[in-house]
Structure 1
Amino acid sequence: MKKNLSIVILLISLAISQSVFSQTYSFEKGKVPEGWKIDKGVLHISSEKYKSGSRSLQIKWKQNAVLTIPSPTGISEACRNRNGGMNAWIYNESPTKENLLFSFRDETGKEVCQLPFLLDFKGWRCIWAKFQGDMNMSSKSNIQSVEIQFPQHTKKGVTYIDLLEFTSKVSWQNMSDAQYKVNRTDYSLIPDFIGYRNATPKVEKVITAEDNQITTITNRLTTWYLGSGQHSSERWIKMRTENEKTFIRNGVKAAQKIKIQYTEDHTPQGEPLFPMGAPTIIDGQEAKKFRSINENILLPLALDYRKNQNDQSLKKALYIYDWFNDQGWADGSSMGTLCFEKLRSSGYFHSFFLLKEQLSPEQLKRELQTMNWFTMFGICYQLPSHAGEVADNLRALAIPKLIYALSQNDKQEREVALTAFKHYMDNALGVAPGFFGTFKADFSGYHHRGPYHSAYYPHALYAGALIAYLLHNTPYALSETTLHNLKQGLLTFRFFCAGLEVPAGTVGRFPKGQQILETLLPAFAYTALSFKEPDKELTAAFKRILESTENQQAITEYISNVNSNLAYTSTVGEIELVIQLASSSIAKEKPVTGTLFMPYSGLLVAKDSLFHFNIKGFSRYIWDFESSATENTKGRYLGYGQIEYFDFKNRHKSFNPQETDFDWNYIPGATTKVLPDKVLQDKGGSSSGHRNFSDETFLTGVHASDKNAMFSFRMHDITYDQSFRANKSVFVFEDFLLCLGSDIQTKDKRYPTVTTLFQSFSRNTSEERMPEGYILTDPSLMYAVKGGAVRTSSEGSHTRAYIEHGTAPEAAKYHYYILKNKKKVLARQLLSNESPIKVIAQDNDAHIVTYKTKEITCGALFNAQKKYEGQLVSQVNIPLSYILEKQKDNSFKLSVCEPDMRRISRAHMGLLTEEDVIQQEKPYDTQLTINGLYNVECPQKTIKVSLDKEKDKTYITISTIRGENYTLLLHQADH
C-alpha cells in the first residue's frame, strides 16, 4: 500500500513539475532552439556542463558577441504579470570583471528593460529576476525578443545556459547577489546579504588577545564536538557516543554514492545540485539538493576523519567542498535565494571547523569567503540602533559566525572579527523593542513577530548559551547583562513550562510540539558554567529538571537523537558539560510554584504543586495563531481565552491535539463560534490568513502573589467576523478560578457561539443540574456554573462541555468557577447566596469581584471615563487591571497592570514594515484615584502622590510601560 501511494505521489509530482517546466529551455532535445543565433561565436548543445538532465547550451563567444532569442516561449505571459520575469542557470568557465547583459526588446527592437550579470566567477550561478519589479519595465511594455550581449573588452570566453525560463511568477524570495541586483528595500524577511558582504571589517576599538586565549576558545569548541574522553564510562556518554557512531556510519555509507571526479584542469565533476528553493522534480527527475548532503553526509565524514582517522572520508569531504563550489555554493552566489538555505546548512559549517586544517590554502581562502557570505558575518560590523536579532539567525548562524571569526589566519583580522562578533552577540541577546526578536522584556521569546516557545526561541537560547560558555573568561566574554538575559530567559522558560511542556497558546504552528524543556538542559549547563562559579539558581533548576523521574524518558530520547539539520548540537561534548554540572554539590530546587503575567505572550501562568494553568489571549500587539498549509490549520481559537491546565497528580491535561477526535472549536476557556472544519480552516478576510491582530489594547494580567492573580482581555476578531467580541476575565485564587465573560456578541446567525468548560477523553465525567446552575467534573477538575445554558455532548469517551450563547448573541455573559480540589460543598457555596465571592461589575465598563473572606478585590477597568465610587480604586485615566489585598493595620497592597504598549500595529503580521517592527514601547503617566487618604510607596520606581483632605482622595501618578506589573503599598495617613 505504501509503495503504491509513493508511486502515486511521484506521478503527481512529475505531472506538476512538467507543467511548471513545460516552458523551460533545458536543451535536452539536443538541438539549438529554432531561430537562436549568435553573431560572433558558436552555439552548441553540450554534455560537458549541465544543470538538469545531461545537456546545456554551450556558448563560445567572442568580444562584443550578441546572442538573439526571437519570441521566447512564455515571454508574453511573463510580461503581463507584475511578478513575471526570468529564471536561469549560468555556468562561466573564465572569470572576467565584465557583465553579460540580458537586453529585452519590444516588437520595434527598442529595449524595454535589461539585466546586467557580472561574469567574475567560475562555476554555476542562478538568476531569479522580475521584469517589472527588478528591471523597472513598464507594465504596458511587451517583450518580443531577448539579446544576450557578451563582454566588450574580453576577447573570448565559454558560457553555458541551462533551465532558462520566462515565467509569470518569479519567487518573492529572490535577492541580489554578486552577479546581479534585484529591487529589494525591505529586508525583514530576506536579509541584505550583499550589504553584509560589502561591510568593512572594522570595529571602533579592537579587543586584543593572547594566542593562548584564542586557543582556549578553539579547544572548548573542539572538545564540544569531539568530547574529552573524561566521562567515557558514564551511561549518557555511552548512549550519545553509540548514536553518534550510527550517525557517522549512515553518513559514510550514503557518501559511497558520491564519486570523486575531476577533469584535467581539476574542475570537479558531479551530478547537478540544487538549492532548497528549486522544485523537487526538474525535467522529470528528482532534484538532488545541497541540503541532503549538508544534513546527512558532510558532518559524518568530518567526524569520521577526526574520530576514526579515516583518510577516505577526508578526501570525500574535500571533494564535496570543490563540487559544492562548482555547483554554485560559493561566495556571492544566491542560487536564487538563501532565505532558508542559510538555515539548513549546519553540516557544511560544522564540518568546515573540523576539517579546516586539512584544506589547501586556496580551498581555505575560498571556503572562508563562502562562510562569510552564508553566515552574513558582515552584520557583525553593522550593529543596528536597537537590540535583538531574528531567532533563525541565532539558532542557525551564531556558532558558524564564531567559526568564521576563529578561522582567520591573520592575528589582527581575527581580533577584529572576534571583537565584532562579541559586540554582535551582546546586542543580539539584548532585550528587543516592539515586535522584533528574540528576547523580550518579560523573557518571552519572539519569532515571526510573536511569542514562539515550541521552536525558534529555545534554539536561540541554546545557541546564545553555548556562545557564552565558549567565550567565558576570555577577552571576548559576553557581558554581564547578556549573561543575566540568558539566565532569566532560562529560568522564565522553566517557570512557564508544565513539566517539560510550553503553553499551548505559544506553540506557533506546532501544536503537537509542546514538549521542549529537556532540549534546553545543555543551555542551563552552558550558562551556569559561564559564571565565575557555577550559578546556583540555574544549577538548582537544572538539577530538578534533570533528576525528575517523569522526565527520564524524554531526556534519554534527547540524548539518543544525533542529527545535523537546523542546528547541530548533538555532540559528545554537550553531554559531558551536562554531566559536569550534574555533579555539582548544589541541591536541586523545590517544585516551582507561583504566578506570572507575561505581557509579550498575552499569557498568565499560575502553578502550584498539583496544577499548572496557562491563560491566553490576543490583542493589538499579540497575534492569535500561526499556521501553514499543513500545520495547525484549525488553530484559530488558541488565543481566544484558552484556559489550559496540567494535572500533575493524575497526569491529565486539557489540550490534546494528538487525539483523533480533538475538536478545535471547543478549546477549554475560549469563547468561540462553532464552525465546520472547512470554515474553521478558511483563511478569512486577511491576506495573511494567520498571525492576525486585534484592535484592542486591553490584554492584561496581575501576578499579585503566589496564590492570587488575574487575567483579562477584550476580545475582538477583526479578521474573520468583525462583529465578534467578548470581554473575558479569569481570577485566580488558592482553591479555585473564577471565570467571567460579558458583552459576548456577533451578528453571525449561522453558527452558535459557545464558551467551552472542558473537552475530555476519559469517561470519568459528570454533570449535575441545580437551581443555581450546574456542577460538572472532568477527570481532574470541577466546574460550578452560575446560571446559563450548559450543554454536554459525548461520543464514546470523548466529552465536550460548554456554555451555549446561541446564534448572534448581543450581550451574552457567563460566570463559572474551576475548582482544583473537586469539593462539591465549596462548589455549592460558590453558587449560593452565601458565596464568599461577590461580583460587583460584569459589563462593558468593568469586571470587578471581591473575595470577601480574604479581603481581596480584583478589577479589570475597561472604561477610564467611569467612576467606581464604591471601590477603593475609584477612578483611573487609562484602562488597567488591579488586585487590592488588605494587609495588617488597615493598609493595602495594590498590584497594577496597565497594558497598552503604545506602538503601531497592523491587521496582521504580513503588513508590518521594518520600521513598524522596531518601534519602541512608550511610557504613560497612569493616574489612580483612591478613596481615602494614604501614604503610598512603590518598591520599583518613583511615583507622585498627592492627598486631597477635602475630598478625602489620594491621587497616585506612576509611569507605566510594557504591560509591566507594579506594586503600590498604601498606608493610611493621619488625618
Structure 2
Amino acid sequence: MKIFSFDHDIPQHLGWDEDSDLSISDRHYKYGSHSLQWKYHSHSYLRLTERVEYRPFQEGATSQERDSFVVWIYNNEPLADVLTFQLGRQEEVDCEFEFHLNFRGWRTAWVAYERDMRGVPHPEMDTLTIRAPKTVSTGTLYINQLMLNTPIDPRFHTRDKQVPFVNLEADQKANAHWLSLLAFEELERRHRIPDVISSEQQWAHGVMSQRLEELIFQARIVAEEDFLQMKGTFSSYGISRRGDVITGRPIELPFFDHYPQADKERLKALANSIQLAAYTDFMLDIATSYRSIEDPSWKDDLQVMFIDLLDHLHDQGWAYGSSQGTVHHFGYNFRSFYQAVFLMRDELELAERLQRTQNTMYWYSGAGRIHTPLNEIEGNIDIFNTTLQGILASLLIMPDAPLKVRELTAFREWLSQSLLPAHGLRSAYKLDGSAYHHVNHYPAYAIGGFLGVTPVVYLISGTVYRIDGLAHKSVRKALLAMRLYCNKYEWLVSLSSRHPTGKGALEVEPFKYMALSGTPDGLQLVDQEVAAAYLRLRHHEEKSEVAEQFLAKGITPEEDPNGHWTMNFAALAIHRRGSWLVGARGHSRYLWANESYVSANLYGRYISHGHVQIMSQGEPITNEASGYHHDGWDWNRWPGTTTVHKPIPELRSDVRNVDTFSGFEEMLLSDETYAGGLNLEGRSGMFAMKLHEHPKYEGSHRARKSVFFFDNRVICLGSDIENSNTVYATETTLFQNHLADQGNPIWVNDQTQIDEFPYAYEQVLEEPVWLLDHLENGYYIPAGQTLSISKDTQHSKHQAADADTQGDFATAWLGHGDAPKQGSYEYTILVKTDRDSIEAFSQHMQSLEAAPYCVLQKDRNAHIVKDHANQTTAYALFEAHSSVDTGWIVETDTPAMIMIREANDELIISAVDPDLRLYEGIESDQYDAEGNRVEVSVYSRDWIHAESIPSTIQLTLRGHWLLKGDCESARIAANGDDYTVVAIECENAMPREFVLQKGQP
C-alpha cells in the first residue's frame, strides 16, 4: 500500500489540466504538516498514474477485509456539488464514486471497491482521475493521505453526508447502533412540533438541566500547578490560528482500521495524532476547571483554550454530517465531549457556537434514533453506556422552544421502548432480568449500561418525560438481578464471557440512581427495595449523602438475598442461602457456549458446559477466595462440567473471521434446545441441559446433565456421557480450588486428612465416599465411580496473553475413561458445611428411611430426584412422549423441567419448557454437504430477533386434581378417575407455577 500524504512534493506521476494550479501548502493539513492545494475550474481534473493493486475478495479467505480507497479532503466553503473519483486503466473507467462537498473543514471517504463503487473494479487498474465540481467556476480544495488501496474490515466503513452510499448494509447489522448516524438523521419524525410549551414542560426542562449539571459538575480546587499543566497539554496539541484558519495535530479514534496491520505502528507514529478520548477528556478537564475557579485571568485563558479546542475539533471533521471513515465503538471515545460542552453552554452561546455544537452533539450521539418507529426500536447497552447522556444533553442544550418539547417527547418514548423486555435475543433487558449484549447475557457490558441508563432514568423522573412504568420495571428487575448473580460484588466466573479473570464486579452507583428514580408507578419518590439493596452494597468507607438520606427515612440495608432464581435467557440457575451463592450455567443452540477473541478467553471452551460454581468465601466474598485463580487454572476443569481433558495447548481456540457479520471471534452454538433451569416457590430449584459440543472441536461429545438445589444440598447427576475420543479421558470435575497455602487440607472420610503436597489419588469406589475441601464444601460420592484427587502445582496458559502461568490447586474429579459410552455420575455438594455434617449426611444416605434424597431415575429420558426434607420431586424430562411413570407424573408430551412439592391435599407445581423456541427445525446453512455442522456467526442468524414461539406442555398426573385459584398459564385439559391432564402454556422459557388440590372423581 502506498500513501500519498503530499507532505513534501507533488508526486511524479500526478498530472493535471492546464487550468489547475497545484502546490504543496501548509495552510491546512491532516497528516504531517502540509497537504496538496488544488485550485480548480469547473472542468479541471487530476490524474494519478499508479498501480492500484486491487485484489478481488476471495470467498473462504481467512480475513473478510475488502480492498478500499481512502482520501482526506479539506473544503473552504460548502458546495452543493461533488468531486468524482474514477479508477481504471488509462482512459478506461472501471469504477467510480462521488464525494459530496457540502461541508467546511476536513472530511474523509472510505469506499470499498466491490461493494460501494459504481462499476466493476479490475485487478489491472492503474489510473485515478479526480474530477472537479461542475457547478462552480473556480475553487480550492486540499488533499491529504490518499490511499489507492488498503484492506478494511467490511463492517467498519460508515456512510455520511459526503458518501451516503457506503456500506448500506450496516444499518441492518450488529454495528448499526454505531454506524447508522446518517440513517438516524433521515428518519421521519414521529411527532409534530407543538404550538406552545406548557408550564409543566418548561419546569421539567429546568429540573432536568439542573440535575444533569449536578451529575456532571464536581467542583475542584485548581492550583497554579494544575493550571500550568493544562496550558502545557494545550500547547502540545499544536493548535494555532492564522486569521480564520486553525491548524493543529490531527484527532483520531484509536483503531486506525484503514492501516494495514503490518504497517500500522509506523503509520500511527507518522500521523502524530491525538486520540479522541484524550482530547475530549481534556476538554472536560478545562470546562470543570473553568467552572471551579474565580480568578478572571485564569478563566479567560481557559475559555480561550476551550473555544480553540472546540474549533479545531470541528475543523478536523468532528462535525455534523461527518463519520470520519468509521465510527464503530465511537461512543467510548466521545463521552466527555457532551459533558464538557454542556458545562460551557452559556459561554458557547456568547461565542456564537452553541447551535453548531448542538448539531455536532445531536449527530454523534445518534440522537435522531429517538424517532425510530416504535416497533423497530431495540435497546442497546453500548448506547446506554456511552451516548445516552449525550443524547439527553444534546436536547437539553436546545433553546426552550416547541421543537425541544417534540424531541424530549420522542426521547421519552424511545427510551421507554428500549427498556422494555426485548423479544428473542435482542438487547437489552429480558423478562427474567438478563442484560443482553453480543446476543447473550453479558454482565461486563451490563455494568456500563446501568451506569449510563440509571442516571438518565433519574434525571427525567418525576417529570412529564419520565419513562413508562413497564420500562421502569424492566430495567429495575435487571439491576436487582445483578445483585443475585454477584456475591457480593463479583459475578460468577461462568458469566465472564471473554474475560475470565474472576474480577468482574457490579457497580453500586446504579442502585442509588434507580432508588432515587422512585417506584415504577411514580407514586413514591424513593424506591425502598432498591434503596435497601444500595445500602447493603455500598462501600461503607465512602461517604454517601444519599445513604444518609435513605437511613433517615427509616430504610435499612437488605439482608443477603436468599432463595432460588431462574434466568433462562442466560441458561442460568442461581441458588442462595445465608451469604453464599451457587450458580449453574449451560448453553444451547440459541445461547453460545463461549466467547473467544484472538486475544481474550483463548482457553475458555468449556466455561458453560454445565458449570457449577460456589461463591462462599472471603470478606467480602470473591471468586479468588472461593477457589478460582487465573494463574495455573486448568481450563479443562470448570467445576460441574463434563469435558474431554486435553493438554492445555490443544484447548487453544482457533478464532476465525467467519463472515461479514462478525469479526475475529468464536461464539459456538450447540444444536440442542434443552438447557436452563426452574424454581419452585422461590426456594428450591434445578438446572439441566443436553450437552453436545460443537464439532469444530469435539463433535462426538455428549452428556445429559442436571443439578438439583434444596437448601444447602446440591445434587449433581449425569448420564449418557459419550464421545469417540480414544486419546484423552473424559471427566466430570467436582472442584478445582486454588491453594494459597499448599498445606490446606482435604478430608476424605473421617479417617484421612490430606495435608501432603503434592498428592495424587485415584480409586474405583467400592463404597460411598465423602470429601471436605478447605473451603467448607462437602462432597458425597456414591460407590461405583472412579474418583481422582490431586494437590499439585499446575501449569497453564494466560487466557489473553497466552503466556505460561502456574499455581497450586486442589482438584477432584470423576473419571469416565476414554471414548465413554453411556457414562454417568452422581454426587452431592453440601455448601458451607463441616466434617460432622458431611459425615452424618453420608451415613444417612446409606439408609432408605433416613436418606435426605433419592434418585428415582437417571437415564437418557429423565433425571428424577426426590428431596425428602422438602417433600419435593424434581424432574428433568429430556425427551417428549416418554412414559415417566414416576412419582406423581405419568407422562409428558414435551421435554420439560418440573418440580412438585406435596403439601397435605395439594401439589405445588412449577414447570418450564426450557426451549427458547426462537426457530423450529434445523438451519441448513449450519451443515455442510456431508451433514456435518459448521461454525456460523450468531450475528448472521435471522432468529436472533425472533419472538419466542409459544408451546404447551401436556402433563399427565396420577390422581384426580383441580386447579386452585386463578392461573393464566395452566388449565385442566382432562380428568379421569385416577388421572389428570394439565395443559401448561409456555413462552420465553419462563417458569409457570400453580397449585392443584385433590378433587373427587
Alignment TM-score, normalising by the size of structure 2:
0.86
> Could you say which residue in structure 2 is the equivalent of 1:775?
770
Distance 1:273 1:540, change over 3 A: closer
Alignment partner of 1:881: what SS?
A: strand
Shift of 1:143: 1.8
* Contact 1:483–1:527 (Cα < 8 Å) also in 2: no
Q: Measure, in 2, the Cα distance between the counterparts of 1:806 and 1:244.
A: 70
Larger mean CA deviation between 486-495 and 608-617 belongs to: 486-495
1:251–1:425 CA distance, 2 compared to 1 (3 A): farther
Confirm or deny that 1:856 pairs with 2:856: no
Kindly provide the CA deviation profile for residues 317-346 of structure 1, in whole angstroms up to 9, marking residues without a partner as x.
111110011111011111111111233211
The aligned amino acid for 2:293 is N
Is the contact between residue 186 and residue 914 of structure 1 (CA under 8 Å) also seen in structure 2?
no
Once the two structures are superposed, residues 98-153 of structure 1 have per-residue CA deviations (whole angstroms, 9 ceiling, x without a partner) of 1000011235x332211100111111111111111111543666423111011112
What's the CA shift for 1:46? 2.4
2:251 to 265, 270, 273: 273
| Structure-1 residue corresponding to 2:639 | 668
Tell me which of 505, 509, 521 is aligned to 1:515: 505
Cα distance in structure 2, aligned partners of 1:347 and 1:930? 61
Which of 646, 665, 676 lines up with 1:700 in the alignment?
Answer: 676
Q: How does 1:27-176 map to 2 (within 5 A)?
A: 27-72=6-51, 74-75=53-54, 83-107=66-90, 109-138=91-120, 142-172=124-154, 173-176=156-159
Cα deviation digits, residues 429-472 of structure 1 (max 9, x gap):
1111111111111111000110011x221222232221222112
In the TM superposition, residue 244 of structure 1 has moved relative to its aligned partner by 13
Residues 606, 635 of structure 2: 8 Å contact kept: yes
User: Contact (CA 8 Å) 2:55, 2:123: kept in 1 or not?
Assistant: no
| TM-fit CA distance, 1:350 | 0.7
Residue of structure 2 aligned with 1:815, choices 808, 812, 826: 826
What residue is the counterpart of 2:747 in the other structure?
766
Distance in 2 of aligned mates of 1:197 and 1:358: 27
**1:399 equivalent in structure 2:** 389
Matches within 5 A, 1:84-483: 84-107=67-90, 109-138=91-120, 142-172=124-154, 173-180=156-163, 181-187=165-171, 188-191=173-176, 192-203=180-191, 208-210=197-199, 211-226=202-217, 254-258=233-237, 260-264=239-243, 266-278=244-256, 279=264, 281-282=266-267, 284-285=269-270, 287-309=272-294, 310-359=299-348, 360=350, 362-386=352-376, 388-409=378-399, 411-453=401-443, 455-483=444-472
Q: How does 1:348-747 map to 2 (within 5 A)?
A: 348-359=337-348, 360=350, 362-386=352-376, 388-409=378-399, 411-453=401-443, 455-512=444-501, 513-528=503-518, 532-546=524-538, 551-552=539-540, 556=542, 576-577=545-546, 579-648=548-617, 653=623, 658-683=629-654, 687=658, 689-718=665-694, 719-747=696-724
CA shift digits 1:43-93 (9 cap, x unpaired): 222233222222322212111111111134544689999811211212122
AA of the residue aligned to 1:832: Q
What number of residue pairs does the alignment pair up?
914
Q: Give distance in 1, aligned partners of 2:915 and 2:54.
A: 52
Q: Deviations over 1:369-414 (max 9, x none)?
A: 1111101111111234155411101111111111111122250111
Q: Is the 8 A contact 2:723 2:819 kept in 1?
A: yes
Secondary structure at the counterpart of residue 456 of structure 1: helix
Q: Report the identity percentage.
A: 23
Structure 1 pair 761/141, CA: closer, same or farther in 2 (3 Å)? closer
Of 81-90 and 54-63, the range deviating more from structure 2? 81-90
CA 1:525/1:869 → structure 2, altered by over 3 Å: closer, same or farther?
Answer: closer
Structure 2 CA distance for partners of 1:444 and 1:965, relative to 1, 3 Å? same
Tell me what 1:798 maps to.
809
2:534 partner SS: helix
Q: Which moved more, 1:473-482 or 1:652-661?
A: 652-661
Distance in 2, Cα, partners of 1:663 & 1:647? 21
Which residue number corresponds to residue 843 of structure 1? Answer: 859
The secondary structure found in structure 2 opposite 1:643 is strand
Alignment check: 8 A CA contact 1:625 1:690 kept: yes
**Structure 1 90/389 Cα, relative in aligned 2: closer, same or farther at 3 Å?**
same
- 2:913 maps to a residue whose letter is E
More divergent stretch after superposition (500-509 vs 594-603): 500-509
Q: Distance in 2 between matches of 1:524 and 1:843?
A: 47
One-letter code aligned to 1:457: A
Contact 1:938–1:967 (CA<8 Å) still a contact in 2? no
Q: What is the CA-CA distance between 1:903 and the residue it aligns to?
A: 1.0
Question: Residues 97 and 118 of structure 2 are in contact (CA less than 8 Å); yes or no, is this contact kept in structure 1?
Answer: no
d(CA) in 1 for partners of 2:827 and 2:226?
54
Cα pair 2:489 2:622 within 8 Å, conserved: no
Aligned to 1:817, the other structure's residue is in SS state strand
Q: In the alignment, is residue 931 of structure 1 matched against residue 958 of structure 2?
A: yes
Change (3 A) 1:283 1:706: closer
- CA distance change for structure 1 residues 660 and 870 in 2, over 3 Å: closer, same or farther? closer
Residue by residue, what CA displacement relative to the aligned partner does 1:221-271 show, whole Å, maximum 9, x if unpaired? 1122236x9xxxxxxxxxxx689999999766633534552111x221212
Deviations 1:714-742 (A, max 9, x none): 11122422211111100111231110011
Amino acid at match of 2:827: Y
Aligned to 2:780: 784
Structure 1, unaligned runs of 5 or more: 1-21, 230-240, 560-574
- Are the equivalent residues in 1 in contact too, given 2:217–2:343 (CA < 8 A)? no
**Aligned-pair Cα RMSD in Å:** 2.8
1:603-655 deviation digits (Å, cap 9, x = unpaired): 10000114210111111222122232222222222211111111147857476
Task: Provide structure 2 residue ranges, at least 5 long, that are not aligned to the other structure.
Answer: 257-263, 659-663, 750-762, 794-807, 927-933
Is the contact made by 2:251 and 2:279 (CA closer than 8 Å) also made in structure 1?
A: no
Q: Which residue of 2 aligns with 1:903?
A: 918
Distance, in Å, in 1 between the alignment partners of 2:716 and 2:224 is: 54
Deviates more, 1:413-422 or 1:529-538: 529-538
Question: Alignment partner of 2:241: what SS?
Answer: coil
Tell me by how many angstroms 1:362 deviates. Answer: 4.2
Give the distance between the partners of 2:855 and 2:887, measured in 1 at CA: 13
Post-superposition Cα deviations, 1:684-720, rounded to whole Å, max 9, x if no partner, equal 6883642222111111312113542111011112242
Query: Cα gap change, 1:552/1:249 in structure 2, threshold over 3 Å: closer, same or farther?
Result: farther
**What is the CA–CA distance in structure 2 between the aligned matches of 1:447 and 1:610, rounded to whole Å?**
29
Counterpart code for 1:94: E
The answer (yes or no) to whether the contact 2:52–2:126 under 8 Å persists in 1 is no
After superposing the two structures, state which structure 1 stretch, 630-639 or 871-880, moved more.
630-639
Partner of 1:262, secondary structure, is strand
8 Å Cα contact 1:79-1:143 kept in structure 2:
no
Following the alignment from structure 1 to structure 2, what is the Cα–Cα distance between the partners of residues 878 and 791?
Answer: 38
Moved more, 143-152 or 82-91: 82-91
Structure 1's 90 and 576: CA in aligned 2 closer, same or farther, altered over 3 A? Answer: farther
